[in-house]
């Protein structure tokens, strides 16, 4: 019997077969290509189409932006040579202006210092592993704005610098950051106000939100700069930048309020009732139970509003404030640099800067979402 | 129509306002604060544009420096406010700026209805034509049958129609909503001729692929006198604004430049003596020092020098003096004598 079995199992190998690589059509680059790019006939067509498009676009882009680009030069003569690509010499000559506007040269260290303080405050605040969050937040939200105000406008013995001299990225960041930082708490209060049971607060919140959402930002800015001076008594004039800041902030608050209200509505009634059962006051339950949940739910919406606001800051251009895009466009009118390539180069430069900031905000929000697991994926 | 209503609104608001600002002495205010607040455009090549250091430069800007030199003897005592076309009159009426030097066309309605005064013409602009040199044209009268790129809904378009009709010529309009589109169409050779204000043609020419292949024809078919503006009701400041420009024009006529004005100070020519303050009390009579005109010429230059370095042969724009030449050279720049 045993022999019999041995005999019938004679084909069983006594040693392992050498491990073989997976078939070429199941693993490796070829398989990847087949699965992802050439799986079906439509896929193949799309792939070929996309490749052709890239071949069509990338080499000319590379030539324009890098190979044929003019990197150095003192004026337009450098960039009007036949066959020249992007006129980076223009950006090089105007770079300081794009960053600071017409901020006085010898006072620019103040802008730099403000920027360094901002980065030094925000980076540790943004990293969850760094301790002392409370002190950090106090620095960023209370001490830093005061310092920035003193440094940028020139108080306490510093040389005063009019806001009409500010420009470039400085103005873009001032408008965007003030808008973001102020509109966020405003938005929270407006959202809570709109859901309140107190009729007057509710009505005022609704009127505010619907009014500011109902008018275009461009109208708000335009009214503030053209019509407002007529309504003010003689000699009373608000700073132009301040007017723009107030307009942008109120506008952003209304949008922020609606985003946050979306989050509040997603919180089940049981959460409120749980707060009441614990004998928490309205503010306690809002602060400890409702808002932490509501805000994390609407991170994408909040960041969306922030990014939109960041890009909307370019509208201050129409009231004669030169933000980054404004000062880039303003410099197109400098006859010393006028050429057929100057506008394209300047706009590409502005686009890169805007992209860096917006993409940065977007990535950070994704990181926070993953960390807080708001997608409930795990 | 909309703009008319808007202008009307501005005008009535301005009238209400001018009653209260009329008596204010701008010169005293300016002296008290220590600088002239000057409204310029938000970027126009040759008129007011930033240089590499971010300082404003251009013919409108130089005029403001001239006023500062007349009042303070120092052309740097001026601050600039960049204004859009819609903001400009409001800013002047509300007292936000002391003088508006922003390529503003002098028209009757603006002069009479807005509570403003035009202080002179520092640039005679007008609609012109740009063509490719390869066409071999020398005059706009040879343009019959041409296709013309023009921005729609502007007075430019109306002037164009009138001009061709008056000269019994045919043309094919190629119209666009936006200036950028017109530029692109002309650059892409979709039309033979580009028409807009001549100063605009020169700056657009710089942005073309090969600027030297294009030329601006000599004919000017409309009147666009551009000049500085002040508030109505302050005659002293109005005089200073007028005579700042006049002094620069007179200086060119008398051959005074920023370089030779020091030598000419001892000149025996009575015209020069009066202008530079060696004779008479012309400076005092408008509330300034005796050497007001000397300061303008020394620090800013005469009209010809300013024209040359901002828009003329010394600048990339290379605009011909043409109608902006002195009257003695066949142009329109003419200043009353100082006497």
- Locate the chain A residue with the closest alpha carbon to B22: A234
**How high is the pLDDT of residue B230?**
96
Sign of CA dihedral A245, A247, A248, A251: positive
Prediction pTM value:
0.83
Specify the pairing of strand B49-50 against strand B56-57. antiparallel
- Binary contact (A340, B81; C-beta < 8 A): no
- Binary contact (A229, B96; C-beta < 8 A): yes
- Binary contact (B54, A97; C-beta < 8 A): yes
Taking the C-alpha atoms of residue A229 and residue A237, their distance in angstroms, rounded to an integer, is 7
Contact between B177 and B224 under an 8 Å Cβ cutoff? The reply is no
Among B43, B50, B84, the residue with its CB nearest the CB of A318 is B84
- pLDDT tens track for B119-178: 999 999 999 999 999 999 999 999 999 999 998 877 788 889 999 999 999 999 999 887
Among A76, A320, A330, the residue with its CB nearest the CB of B50 is A330
Alpha helices in A232-289 (DSSP H): 240-265, 269-277, 282-285
Best interface-test mutation with A: which of B54, B199, B214 has the largest number of A CBs within 10 A?
B54
**How high is the pLDDT of residue B21?**
45
**How high is the pLDDT of residue A368?**
87
CATH of the domain at A182: 1.10.3720.10
- Binary contact (B52, A237; C-beta < 8 A): no
**How high is the pLDDT of residue A117?**
92
- pLDDT tens track for B240-298: 999 999 999 999 999 999 999 999 888 899 999 999 998 889 999 999 999 999 999 99
Name the pLDDT band for A8 (thresholds 50, 70, 90): low
Cα angle, residue B315 at apex, residues A318 and B207 outer, rounded to 5°:
55
**How high is the pLDDT of residue B16?**
45
**How high is the pLDDT of residue B254?**
94
Taking the C-alpha atoms of residue A90 and residue A349, their distance in angstroms, rounded to an integer, is 10
**Residue of B252, B248, B183, B324 whose CA lies nearest to A338:** B183
Shortest alpha-carbon distance between residue B80 and chain A (Å): 8
- pLDDT tens track for A283-332: 999 999 999 999 988 989 999 999 999 998 898 888 878 899 999 988 99
Is the residue at A123 inside a domain?
Answer: yes
Shortest alpha-carbon distance between residue A340 and chain B (Å): 4
Taking the C-alpha atoms of residue B30 and residue B61, their distance in angstroms, rounded to an integer, is 17
Helix (H) or strand (E) holding A345: helix A342-372
**Residue of B292, B262, B280 whose CA lies nearest to B75:** B292
- Binary contact (B203, A320; C-beta < 8 A): no
Chain A residues in contact with B210 by the CB 8 A cut-off are 82
Beta bridge partners of B314: none
Question: Collapsing DSSP states into helix, strand and coil, what is residue B215?
Answer: strand
**How high is the pLDDT of residue B5?**
47
Is the residue at A170 inside a domain?
Answer: yes
Q: For all residues of chain B together, what is the average pLDDT?
A: 88
Within an 8 Å CB–CB cutoff, is residue B216 touching chain A? no
Is the residue at A61 inside a domain?
Answer: no
Domain that holds residue A114: 88-372
Name the pLDDT band for A227 (thresholds 50, 70, 90): confident
Angle between the N-to-C axes of helices A108-126 and A88-100, in degrees from 0 to 180, rounded to the nearest 10? 80
Question: Collapsing DSSP states into helix, strand and coil, what is residue B37?
Answer: strand
Within an 8 Å CB–CB cutoff, is residue B53 touching chain A? yes
End-to-end CA distance of chain B: 47
Question: Collapsing DSSP states into helix, strand and coil, what is residue B275?
Answer: helix
Within an 8 Å CB–CB cutoff, is residue B86 touching chain A? yes
- Locate the chain A residue with the closest alpha carbon to B46: A335
**How high is the pLDDT of residue A234?**
62
Is the residue at A13 inside a domain?
Answer: no
Q: For all residues of chain A together, what is the average pLDDT?
A: 88
- Locate the chain B residue with the closest alpha carbon to A99: B54
Is the residue at A16 inside a domain?
Answer: no
- Residue B48: phi and psi, rounded to 5, are -155, 110
How many other CB atoms sit within 10 Å of the CB of residue A49?
10
How many other CB atoms sit within 10 Å of the CB of residue A150?
15
Angle between the N-to-C axes of helices B59-72 and B292-299, in degrees from 0 to 180, rounded to the nearest 10? 140
Taking the C-alpha atoms of residue B80 and residue B101, their distance in angstroms, rounded to an integer, is 10
- Residue B290: phi and psi, rounded to 5, are -65, -30
**How high is the pLDDT of residue A172?**
93
Rounded average pLDDT over A93-99:
92
- Binary contact (B316, A332; C-beta < 8 A): no
Contact between B298 and B264 under an 8 Å Cβ cutoff? The reply is no
Extended strands (E) in B29-159: 36-41, 49-50, 56-57, 78-83, 99-105, 116-118, 123-125, 127-132, 146-151
- Token pair belonging to B246: 């006049």
Is the residue at A60 inside a domain?
Answer: no
Domains and CATH numbers, chain B: 2-124+224-329 (3.40.190.10), 127-216 (3.40.190.10)
- pLDDT tens track for A194-224: 999 999 999 999 999 999 999 998 888 888 8
Helix (H) or strand (E) holding A230: helix A228-231
Question: Collapsing DSSP states into helix, strand and coil, what is residue A26?
Answer: coil
Specify the pairing of strand B127-132 against strand B193-197. antiparallel
Best interface-test mutation with A: which of B52, B55, B115, B200 has the largest number of A CBs within 10 A?
B52
DSSP letter (8 states) at residue A19? P
- pLDDT tens track for A120-139: 988 888 888 888 888 888 88
Chain A residues in contact with B317 by the CB 8 A cut-off are 335
Angle between the N-to-C axes of helices A168-194 and A144-153, in degrees from 0 to 180, rounded to the nearest 10? 140
pLDDT exceeds 60 at position A163: yes
Count of domains for chain A: 1
Chain B residues in contact with A343 by the CB 8 A cut-off are 207
**How high is the pLDDT of residue A236?**
65
Among B52, B208, B317, the residue with its CB nearest the CB of A340 is B208
Name the pLDDT band for B17 (thresholds 50, 70, 90): very low
Calculated CA dihedral for residues A215, A220, A223, A229, nearest 10 degrees:
140
Chain B residues in contact with A96 by the CB 8 A cut-off are 54
Name the pLDDT band for A235 (thresholds 50, 70, 90): low
Query: C-alpha A151: how far from its chain's center?
Result: 25
pLDDT exceeds 50 at position B7: no
Best interface-test mutation with B: which of A338, A339, A347 has the largest number of B CBs within 10 A?
A338
In angstroms, what CA-CA distances link B116 with A167, A229, B236? 30, 17, 14
Size of interface A-B (CB pairs under 8 A): 104
Among B13, B20, B43, the residue with its CB nearest the CB of A330 is B43
Taking the C-alpha atoms of residue A89 and residue A282, their distance in angstroms, rounded to an integer, is 60
Among A76, A229, A329, the residue with its CB nearest the CB of B316 is A76
Contact between A174 and A144 under an 8 Å Cβ cutoff? The reply is no
pLDDT exceeds 90 at position B337: yes
pLDDT exceeds 60 at position A10: yes
Is the residue at A224 inside a domain?
Answer: yes
Is the residue at A30 inside a domain?
Answer: no
Return the half-sphere exposure (C-beta side, CA atoms, 13 A cut-off) of residue B293: 36
- Locate the chain A residue with the closest alpha carbon to B45: A333
**How high is the pLDDT of residue A6?**
54
Taking the C-alpha atoms of residue B100 and residue B227, their distance in angstroms, rounded to an integer, is 9
Within an 8 Å CB–CB cutoff, is residue B169 touching chain A? no
pLDDT exceeds 60 at position A186: yes
């Amino acid at each position: 019997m045993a022999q019999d079995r041995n005999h019938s199992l004679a084909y069983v190998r006594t040693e392992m077969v050498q491990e073989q690589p997976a078939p070429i059509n199941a693993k490796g680059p070829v398989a990847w290509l087949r699965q992802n790019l050439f799986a079906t006939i439509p896929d193949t067509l799309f792939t070929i189409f996309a490749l052709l498009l890239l071949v069509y676009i990338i080499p000319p882009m590379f030539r324009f932006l890098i190979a044929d680009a003019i990197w150095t030069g003192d004026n337009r003569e450098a960039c009007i040579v036949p066959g020249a690509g992007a006129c980076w010499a223009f950006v090089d000559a105007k770079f300081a202006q794009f960053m600071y506007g017409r901020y006085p040269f010898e006072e620019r260290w103040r802008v730099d210092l403000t920027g360094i303080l901002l980065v030094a405050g925000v980076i540790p605040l943004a990293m969850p592993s760094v301790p002392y969050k409370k002190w950090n937040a106090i620095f960023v939200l209370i001490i830093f704005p005061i310092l920035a105000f003193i440094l940028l406008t020139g108080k306490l013995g510093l040389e005063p610098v009019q806001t009409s001299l500010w420009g470039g990225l400085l103005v873009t960041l001032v408008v965007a950051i003030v808008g973001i930082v102020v509109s966020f708490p405003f938005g929270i209060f407006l959202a809570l106000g709109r859901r309140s049971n107190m009729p007057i607060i509710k009505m005022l919140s609704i009127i505010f939100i619907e009014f500011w959402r109902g008018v275009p930002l461009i109208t708000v800015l335009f009214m503030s700069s053209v019509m407002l001076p007529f309504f003010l008594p003689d000699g009373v004039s608000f700073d132009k930048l301040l007017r723009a800041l107030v307009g942008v902030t109120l506008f952003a608050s209304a949008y922020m309020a609606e985003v946050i209200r979306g989050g509040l509505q997603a919180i089940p009634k049981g959460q409120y009732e749980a707060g009441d059962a614990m004998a928490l006051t309205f503010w306690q339950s809002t602060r400890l139970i409702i808002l932490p949940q509501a805000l994390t739910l609407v991170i994408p919406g909040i960041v969306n509003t922030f990014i939109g606001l960041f890009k909307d800051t370019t509208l201050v251009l129409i009231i004669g404030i030169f933000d980054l895009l404004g000062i880039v466009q303003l410099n197109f009118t400098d006859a010393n640099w006028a050429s057929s390539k100057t506008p394209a180069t300047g706009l590409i430069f502005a686009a890169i800067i805007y992209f860096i900031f917006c993409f940065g905000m977007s990535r950070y929000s994704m990181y926070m979402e993953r960390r807080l697991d708001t997608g409930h994926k795990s | 129509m909309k703009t008319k209503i808007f202008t009307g609104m501005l005008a009535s608001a301005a009238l209400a306002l001018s009653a209260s600002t009329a008596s204010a002495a701008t010169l005293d205010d300016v002296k008290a604060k220590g600088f002239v607040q000057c409204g310029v455009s938000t970027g126009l090549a040759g008129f007011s544009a930033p240089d590499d250091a971010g300082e404003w430069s251009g013919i409108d800007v130089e005029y403001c420096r001239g006023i500062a030199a007349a009042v303070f003897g120092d052309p740097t005592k001026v601050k600039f406010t960049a204004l859009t076309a819609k903001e400009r009159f409001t800013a002047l009426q509300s007292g936000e700026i002391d003088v508006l030097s922003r390529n503003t066309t002098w028209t009757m309605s603006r002069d009479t209805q807005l509570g403003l005064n035009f202080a002179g013409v520092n640039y005679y602009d007008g609609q012109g034509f740009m063509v490719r040199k390869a066409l071999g044209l020398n005059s706009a009268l040879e343009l019959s049958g041409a296709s013309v790129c023009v921005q729609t809904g502007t007075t430019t378009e109306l002037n164009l129609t009138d001009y061709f009709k008056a000269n019994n010529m045919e043309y094919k309009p190629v119209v666009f909503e936006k200036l950028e589109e017109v530029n692109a169409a002309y650059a892409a050779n979709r039309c033979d001729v580009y028409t807009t204000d001549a100063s605009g043609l020169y700056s657009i020419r710089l942005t073309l692929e090969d600027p030297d292949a294009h030329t601006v024809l000599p004919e000017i078919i409309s009147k666009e006198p551009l000049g500085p503006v002040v508030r109505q009701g302050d005659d002293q400041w109005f005089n200073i604004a007028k005579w700042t420009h006049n002094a620069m024009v007179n200086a060119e006529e008398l051959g005074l430049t920023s370089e030779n004005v020091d030598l000419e100070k001892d000149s025996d020519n009575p015209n020069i003596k009066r202008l530079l303050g060696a004779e008479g009390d012309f400076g005092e009579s408008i509330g300034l020092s005796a050497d007001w005109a000397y300061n303008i010429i020394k620090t800013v230059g005469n009209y010809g020098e300013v024209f040359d370095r901002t828009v003329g042969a010394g600048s990339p724009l290379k605009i011909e003096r043409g109608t902006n030449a002195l009257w003695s050279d066949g142009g329109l720049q003419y200043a009353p004598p100082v006497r």
